[in-house]
Structure 1
Amino acid sequence: MSDTSPADPVGEAFEAQRDRLRAVAYRMLGSHADAEDVVQEAWLRLARQDAATIHNLAGWLTTVVGRISLDVLRSRQTRPEASYDDQLPELVVTADDGPAPEDDVALADSVGLALLVVLDSLGPSERLAFVLHDLFGVPFDEIGQILGRSADAAKMLASRARRKVRETERPTAAGREQREVVQAFLAAARRGDFEGLLRVLDPEVRLTVDTPDGAVVILGATKVAEGASARVAAGAAARGRAVLVNGLPGFVAWREDGTPLSVMAFTVVDGRIVAITTVIAPARLASMNLPDPG
């Protein structure tokens, strides 16, 4: 919560922008907790600023939130493994009986999660340019100022990011080829085939694991492959089946006593896995409406 007062005109103006700023920061960072921290930091900077010198408060605040978010994204890149207390988006798990026309409907329902997942595969500058321009309509000259680049360079970054996003949003995202990539990953993990895992993982793949202690993020194909064999082998020792998770190809494993062990969702772009979301937190698993074991 901020320290703004209803009698404070600057505070009132900020509160009018708070929801939009929070949305910008969340799309940038994928974390509600981090987004709240960024918005609060923006308020603190505004409180130290002479409001009379700000001619466009909304634009000024967007620039500040963008720059703080960019710093957070860049700091994450310097730490290949980091923990976050934020909850993952809600996951809807349905039985996967093979490619069917209904897959397109499931994918349409999953665009929110799919977009967050693919944004995590973008570089910080790409992500900022795409989020600010395509999702919030910020002009490229303003984006360029945040990035310290020209408007044309910002436009190129957004275009590159847009292509990656479109690849994820294609109707085939849960289709046959994507399923085959996921099956190859699972098979390689069960065999302990490290090279096989690297062949299907994007070099910058992002693994997010929802644990009882919060979300843990692991970046990079080597680190993800190193832990994949043990993780999947544990699931393979129990009962498991292919599923769709918010329209994305996935896998659910159950223990012998019928309690759920894990849920995995995969995002596949150009024949490689760019993101994996795994839920192992018992409370989160218990709250999900999972199909019966196959």
Structure 2
Amino acid sequence: MTGQGPRDQAPGRADDMLAVAFEEQRARLTSVAVRMLGSRADAEDAVQEAWLRLARQREGAIGNLQAWLTTVVSRVCIDMLRSRRVHPEEPYDDLPEIEVAEADAEAPEEGAVLADSVGLALLVVLDTLTPAERLAFVLHDMFAVPFAEVGQILGKSTDAAKMLASRARRKVRGTPGPADDPRRQRAVVDAFLAAARAGDFDALLRVLAPDVTWRSYSARGLTVRRGAPEVATRVQRGVRAAVTTRPALINGTPGVIVQDRRGKVLGVMSCTIADGRITEVLSVNDPARLAELGLPALQPLRES
């Protein structure tokens, strides 16, 4: 379904005008859906569903096409968010876009953010909101949709929509941002790696935020671990692996490339840091996804 739409269909009478009108709205609708779902593939599916519903409407039945399409896409996104199961490991197609650069290179400008300028950190924060809070915040604060329309989409009153957006806004603003000094960020990551190599549980707890979240993308699916004790325990289990790490910038944030001693890339990991502690970890060790990143071949490391 992804990527299909009016542009893929044969021309026909009024359908041509409808398709043109829809294409004029596509970029905006996709931006809304990306911010709602955090996944371009899911966003394109939501927009495609909106086109399918639009194509079934009678000619002249829709007065305000932009408002109608925004409503449809928003409700589709709400349904998709609500249907996502809370499961420690599940199949995924929503791996965020990732830009990997050498640690001593300049941070990429456009590559340091996700598609449509959605920062990885913001998506992580939005992921903590309820579907209704997320929709109210995204539509009103990011796309200036009036609260009356937001309320109609949610099936709630205007005041209820305002309360949802206000609650979401407090959560977003209450989330500490990353430290400004890249050297301090790198020092935190280095301390984490040193504690991991030593298997020092207490040192890991000191460098991890109490509510840290680790999202790991493997060939089996997405695994999410929350809380410093759980993350530290998982890190300790991997201590015996014969791997080495190289500093890197992942979406402009400090991270590492993990490789075996022959130089084969086994994974990448990025860290979000606030107040001297790691608050978010994103790791990818799925061979297929790593291949999509197009990482350069690394030279084998010499034994010390």
TM-score range, shorter chain: 0.7 to 0.9
- Name the counterpart of 1:99: none
Deviations for 1:162-218, whole angstroms, at most 9, x for unmatched residues? 4257x43x5617451x44543454345441628945972453725042x4x486242
- Distance, in Å, in 2 between the alignment partners of 1:125 and 1:151 is 9
Aligned structure 1 segments of 4 or more residues deviating by more than 6 angstroms: 290-294
Cα distance change, pair 41–159 in 1 and its aligned pair in 2 (3 A)? same
**Is the contact between residue 27 and residue 116 of structure 1 (CA under 8 Å) also seen in structure 2?**
no
- Aligned-pair CA distance for 1:250: 0.7
TM-score (norm. length: structure 2): 0.73
Structure 2: gaps of 5 or more residues: none
- Aligned-pair CA distance for 1:21: 1.5
- Name the counterpart of 1:249: 254
- Distance, in Å, in 2 between the alignment partners of 1:204 and 1:239 is 23
- Aligned-pair CA distance for 1:49: 4.1
Give secondary structure in 2 for the equivalent of 1:118.
Answer: helix
**Is the contact between residue 80 and residue 220 of structure 1 (CA under 8 Å) also seen in structure 2?**
no
Cα distance change, pair 271–60 in 1 and its aligned pair in 2 (3 A)? farther
Give secondary structure in 2 for the equivalent of 1:142.
Answer: helix
1:54 aligns with 2:57: no
- Distance, in Å, in 2 between the alignment partners of 1:214 and 1:88 is 17
Structure ranking higher on relative contact order (CA contacts 8 Å, 6+ apart): 1
- After TM superposition, list the pairs within 5 Å mapping 1:222-233 onto structure 2: 224-231=231-238, 233=240
**Is the contact between residue 207 and residue 224 of structure 1 (CA under 8 Å) also seen in structure 2?**
no
Instruction: Figure out how many residues of one structure are paired with residues of the other and give that number.
Output: 280
1:156 aligns with 2:166: yes
- Distance, in Å, in 1 between the alignment partners of 2:39 and 2:295 is 20
- Aligned-pair CA distance for 1:115: 1.3
Aligned-CA RMSD value: 3.6
Percentage of matched positions with identical amino acids: 43
- Distance, in Å, in 2 between the alignment partners of 1:61 and 1:116 is 26
Give secondary structure in 2 for the equivalent of 1:19.
Answer: helix
Deviations for 1:218-263, whole angstroms, at most 9, x for unmatched residues? 25337655533334653xx322233322321112222111222221
Q: 2:90 aligns with which of 61, 74, 82?
A: 82
**Is the contact between residue 179 and residue 274 of structure 2 (CA under 8 Å) also seen in structure 1?**
no
- Name the counterpart of 1:203: 211
- After TM superposition, list the pairs within 5 Å mapping 1:145-224 onto structure 2: 145-147=152-154, 148=156, 150-163=160-173, 167-168=176-177, 172=180, 174-176=182-184, 178-190=185-197, 191=199, 193=201, 196-197=204-205, 200-201=208-209, 203=211, 205-209=213-217, 211=218, 213=219, 216-221=222-227, 224=231
TM-score (norm. length: structure 1): 0.75
- Distance, in Å, in 1 between the alignment partners of 2:148 and 2:297 is 47
- After TM superposition, list the pairs within 5 Å mapping 1:1-294 onto structure 2: 1-2=4-5, 6-7=11-12, 8=15, 9-50=17-58, 52-76=60-84, 78-95=86-103, 106=107, 111-113=112-114, 115-122=119-126, 123=129, 124-147=131-154, 148=156, 150-163=160-173, 167-168=176-177, 172=180, 174-176=182-184, 178-190=185-197, 191=199, 193=201, 196-197=204-205, 200-201=208-209, 203=211, 205-209=213-217, 211=218, 213=219, 216-221=222-227, 224-231=231-238, 233-234=240-241, 237-282=242-287, 284=290, 287-289=294-296
- Aligned-pair CA distance for 1:18: 2.2
